[in-house]
Amino acid sequence: DAGVTQSPTHLIKTRGQQVTLRCSPISGHKSVSWYQQVLGQGPQFIFQYYEKEERGRGNFPDRFSARQFPNYSSELNVNALLLGDSALYLCASSLASSGGSYEQYFGPGTRLTVT
């Protein structure tokens, strides 16, 4: 079975531009979470979606938004890019929304560079 897939792998954008990152969860998984990992730091939680509804939001500005589609894939959008948005963006999927027994599986990430 395919794991969590993310596209694109790498992306270079200019300050002020907008970017859309995509994630396909493992087949059967209904929950998708997004994390931002700045170089040298641990991942930080951005959003969680379950059954197309937002179930959690981290401490990120409104420039960050996301959505989940009927096939459970997800997009993360970032508007008005800043240099500080340069990071590895990780997507994780799990069977359900809560319960630690529902392990999260991470994708390889999208490396975003803002110049």
Partner 1 sequence: AQSVTQLDSQVPVFEEAPVELRCNYSSSVSVYLFWYVQYPNQGLQLLLKYLSGSTLVKGINGFEAEFNKSQTSFHLRKPSVHISDTAEYFCAVSRYSSASKIIFGSGTRLSIRP
**Residue span binding partner 1 (CB under 8 A) among the ranges 16-24, 63-71, 78-86, 87-95:** 87-95
Nearer to partner 1, 73 or 79 (CB): 73
Token pair 């997004």 in the structure block, residue: 34
Separation of alpha carbons 23 and 109, rounded Å = 9
Nearer to partner 1, 18 or 98 (CB): 98
Nearer to partner 1, 17 or 98 (CB): 98
Q: Which residues bind partner 1 (CB under 8 A)?
A: 4, 31, 33, 35, 40-45, 48, 50, 55-56, 58, 90, 92, 94, 97-109
